[in-house]
């Protein structure tokens, strides 16, 4: 149910509304549904999308508020986390206070029935049959309403830009506290019931567990307890989803108002002909730019790109995807590979670095991109750590001094590159895996679901 002003004043208790909304199930959407829904963004379609988001966003946001308020290890009371909670509260309140279409004078006949609220992306039939815009007055009203809602969404998205930074600050404080008091629960729990993260460590390096784990300063300082790690995975996955829905709706609303300049291959932020070749070269070029700024290397490692197989090489592969999500993953992988290669061979080897090999395989279900470097690899006992938020072997970046909403620009040092990239690839039904050959190099596999039929993995 969309929450309206009337409901807000009647309930008068935002907290209660949040608790109630958090009980509802989230409605996951797939890439395919998004493309079908947004391919002809008429004002009527956008109105349906507006109604869908008025139903869906409060539920997603409320779930995060409830979780943020009940975090373990006293995280909920940390000021950086409290600020994030307040932003979620505020955004819920903004949506709750937004006038319902009826209050805005939109005729009822143009609106989706309440019972249809959950099938916004599947109600094209209803839309096709009702052909509501025979009179220009209602069209003007609908456009105004859609535009107003778009402004509300833009403000919410902007408010949440620094969320990742604030969350990281909280986790960093907690890690520092555990380090100084030697009280990381992963290590404490290893003697009692075994934490899952510790178990992963045991699996990859049984001979070192638990005695060496306790002595391994990297592990001791960086392993996050499973409950915290899974909360962060859930939290960031939800954030990717909310931002995707908002970004998409804003782009489609602009298109419906005739303000869009994007090409015919685009449905909002989705490109129906996302070019793997362009994505790889663009991400590599951007990563090289950052490397050169950070280190002054003149001739960085090159890339060798192979698309298809040796018997059937291809110029390019195109598929339906969100280019910015693909860029995120590849950019992070190239930064890691470039850094590892340059650190291993040293700045003196400028111009003689082994290349980074990129292989693109096109299957029926998946397109897989393998990024292989010869940067020396990662030791096996270190592998469970690489998916841990804030684990880095680079010099730590100072969180307070940065203004990056998703830790994208710096070369390394946030320890967010791999965990966030994995979420981005999983969001559309893919995955990211890393295999290390210690002493040689690292292979990262980005699996992309080319069927675009997978629902968002929200919890
Ligand atoms: N290709 C690679 N070769 C060697 N080590 C790597 C590679 N990719 C990742 N790592 C290790 O994993 C750590 C975490 O990577 P990441 O999540 O991208 O964070 P960051 O790059 O900020 O350190 C790195 O600090 C590095 O120690
Ligand atoms: Mg990185």
* Closest-lying ligand 1 atom to the alpha carbon of residue 415: 19
Query: What pLDDT score does 120 carry?
Result: 47
Give residue-wise pLDDT tens across range 4-55: 445 555 446 899 999 999 999 999 999 999 999 998 888 988 999 999 999 9
* Closest-lying ligand 1 atom to the alpha carbon of residue 444: 1
Q: How far is the CA of 88 from the centre of ligand 2 (A)?
A: 28
Q: Whose CA is nearest to atom 5 of ligand 1?
A: 378
Looking at the structure, tell me whether residues 277 and 172 fall in a common domain: no
Q: Whose CA is nearest to atom 23 of ligand 1?
A: 392
Looking at the structure, tell me whether residues 287 and 428 fall in a common domain: yes
Query: What pLDDT score does 296 carry?
Result: 87
Q: How far is the CA of 322 from the centre of ligand 2 (A)?
A: 21
* Closest-lying ligand 1 atom to the alpha carbon of residue 387: 17
Looking at the structure, tell me whether residues 162 and 302 fall in a common domain: no
Query: What pLDDT score does 116 carry?
Result: 47
In 3D, which of 377, 388, 67 has the Cα closest to residue 198?
A: 388
What the block records as the tokens of 79 is 């000021």
Looking at the structure, tell me whether residues 362 and 387 fall in a common domain: yes
Q: How far is the CA of 393 from the centre of ligand 2 (A)?
A: 9
Q: Whose CA is nearest to atom 19 of ligand 1?
A: 415
Question: Strands across the sheet with 318-321, in order?
Answer: 266-267, 270-275, 318-321
Residue 408: pLDDT above 60?
no
Considering every ligand atom shown, identify the ligand nearest to the alpha carbon of residue 376 and give its number.
1
Residue 3: pLDDT above 60?
no
Q: How far is the CA of 396 from the centre of ligand 1 (A)?
A: 12
The answer as to whether 192 is a domain residue is no
* Closest-lying ligand 1 atom to the alpha carbon of residue 332: 18
Ligand 1: which of 287, 333, 336, 388 to mutate, judged by most atoms within 8 Å of the beta carbon? 336
Which range in 125-134, 171-180, 191-200, 271-280 is most confidently predicted, on average pLDDT?
A: 271-280
Q: How far is CA 100 from the centre of its chain?
A: 30
Of 64 and 312, more confident: 64
Average pLDDT over residues 111-125: 50
How buried is 42 (Cβ within 10 angstroms: 0-12 exposed, 13-18 middle, 19+ buried)?
middle
Query: What pLDDT score does 202 carry?
Result: 67
The answer as to whether 417 is a domain residue is yes
For residue 249, give its domain range: 14-120+134-181+230-260
Rounded distance between C-alpha atoms, residue 235 and residue 237, angstroms: 6
What the block records as the tokens of 298 is 């003149």
The answer as to whether 298 is a domain residue is yes
Considering every ligand atom shown, identify the ligand nearest to the alpha carbon of residue 385 and give its number.
1
Average pLDDT over residues 214-231: 78
Considering every ligand atom shown, identify the ligand nearest to the alpha carbon of residue 390 and give its number.
1
Looking at the structure, tell me whether residues 170 and 279 fall in a common domain: no
Contact 402, 165 (CB under 8 A): yes
- Domain with residue 369: its CATH number is 3.30.565.10
- Domain with residue 34: its CATH number is 1.20.140.20
Q: How far is the CA of 174 from the centre of ligand 2 (A)?
A: 22
Residue 258: pLDDT above 90?
no
Looking at the structure, tell me whether residues 244 and 97 fall in a common domain: yes
Looking at the structure, tell me whether residues 150 and 276 fall in a common domain: no
Looking at the structure, tell me whether residues 242 and 290 fall in a common domain: no
The answer as to whether 432 is a domain residue is yes
Q: How far is the CA of 417 from the centre of ligand 2 (A)?
A: 4
Q: Whose CA is nearest to atom 21 of ligand 1?
A: 412
Query: What pLDDT score does 294 carry?
Result: 87
Looking at the structure, tell me whether residues 151 and 71 fall in a common domain: yes
In 3D, which of 248, 259, 409, 433 has the Cα closest to residue 322?
A: 248
The answer as to whether 200 is a domain residue is no
Looking at the structure, tell me whether residues 157 and 243 fall in a common domain: yes
Query: Ligand 2 is a single-atom ion; what residues have CB below 5 A from it?
Result: 336, 412, 417
What the block records as the tokens of 377 is 């690899």
Q: How far is the CA of 418 from the centre of ligand 2 (A)?
A: 6
Number of domains in the chain: 2
Considering every ligand atom shown, identify the ligand nearest to the alpha carbon of residue 436 and give its number.
1
Query: What pLDDT score does 128 carry?
Result: 35
Looking at the structure, tell me whether residues 242 and 97 fall in a common domain: yes
Residue 94: pLDDT above 70?
yes
Q: Whose CA is nearest to atom 10 of ligand 1?
A: 336
Length of the chain: 459
Q: How far is the CA of 127 from the centre of ligand 2 (A)?
A: 45
Looking at the structure, tell me whether residues 325 and 238 fall in a common domain: no
pLDDT band at 226 (very low <50, low <70, confident <90, very high): confident
Pocket residues for ligand 1 (CB within 6 Å)? Answer: 332, 336-337, 340, 373, 375, 378, 386, 391-394, 412-415, 417-418, 442
The answer as to whether 26 is a domain residue is yes
In 3D, which of 20, 7, 102, 85 has the Cα closest to residue 58?
A: 20
The answer as to whether 235 is a domain residue is yes
Give residue-wise pLDDT tens across range 66-92: 999 999 999 999 999 999 999 999 999
Considering every ligand atom shown, identify the ligand nearest to the alpha carbon of residue 441 and give its number.
1
Residue 216: pLDDT above 70?
no
Express as a percent the part of the chain with pLDDT over 90. Answer: 55
pLDDT band at 108 (very low <50, low <70, confident <90, very high): confident
The answer as to whether 221 is a domain residue is no
Q: What are phi and psi of 218, to 5 degrees?
A: -60, -50
Give residue-wise pLDDT tens across range 287-320: 999 999 888 899 999 999 999 877 788 899 999 9
């Amino acid at each position: 149910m969309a929450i309206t002003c009337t409901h807000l004043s009647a309930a008068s208790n935002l907290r209660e509304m949040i608790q109630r909304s958090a009980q509802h199930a989230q409605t996951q959407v797939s890439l395919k549904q998004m493309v079908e829904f947004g391919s002809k963004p008429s004002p009527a379609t956008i109105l349906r999308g507006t109604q869908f988001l008025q139903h869906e966003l409060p539920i997603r946001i409320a779930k995060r508020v409830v979780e943020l308020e009940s975090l373990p290890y006293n995280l909920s009371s940390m000021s950086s986390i409290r600020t994030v909670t307040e932003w979620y509260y505020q955004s819920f309140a903004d949506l709750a206070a937004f006038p319902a279409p009826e209050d805005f004078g939109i005729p009822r006949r143009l609106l989706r029935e309440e019972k249809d609220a959950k099938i916004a992306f599947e109600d094209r039939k209803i839309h096709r049959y009702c052909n509501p815009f025979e009179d220009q007055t209602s069209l003007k009203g609908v456009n105004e309403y859609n535009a107003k809602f778009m402004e509300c969404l833009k403000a919410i998205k902007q408010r949440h830009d620094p969320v990742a930074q604030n969350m990281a600050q909280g986790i960093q404080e907690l890690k520092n506290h555990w380090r100084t008091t030697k009280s990381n629960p992963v290590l404490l729990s290893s003697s009692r019931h075994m934490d899952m993260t510790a178990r992963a460590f045991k699996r990859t390096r049984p001979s070192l567990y638990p005695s060496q784990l306790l002595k391994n300063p990297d592990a001791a300082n960086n392993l996050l307890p499973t409950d915290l790690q899974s909360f962060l995975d859930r939290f960031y996955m939800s954030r990717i989803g909310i931002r995707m829905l908002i970004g998409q709706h804003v782009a489609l609303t602009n298109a419906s108002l005739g303000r869009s300049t994007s090409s015919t291959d685009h449905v909002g932020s989705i490109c129906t002909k996302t070019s793997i070749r362009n994505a790889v070269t663009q991400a590599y070029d951007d990563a090289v730019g950052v490397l050169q700024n950070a280190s002054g290397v003149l001739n960085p490692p090159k890339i060798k790109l192979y698309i298809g197989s040796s018997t059937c090489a291809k110029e390019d592969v195109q598929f339906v995807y969100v280019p910015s999500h693909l860029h995120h993953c590849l950019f992070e992988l190239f930064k890691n590979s470039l850094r590892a290669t340059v650190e291993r061979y040293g700045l003196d080897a400028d111009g003689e670095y082994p290349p980074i090999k990129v292989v693109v395989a096109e299957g029926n279900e998946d397109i897989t991109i393998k990024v292989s470097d010869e940067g020396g690899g990662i030791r096996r006992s270190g592998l469970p750590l690489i998916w841990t938020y804030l684990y880095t072997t680079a010099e730590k970046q100072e969180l307070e001094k940065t203004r990056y909403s998703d830790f994208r620009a710096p070369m390394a040092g946030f320890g967010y590159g791999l965990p966030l990239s994995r979420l981005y690839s999983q969001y559309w039904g893919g995955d990211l895996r890393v295999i290390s050959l210690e002493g040689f190099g690292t292979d990262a596999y980005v699996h992309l679901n080319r069927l675009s039929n997978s629902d968002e993995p929200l919890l």
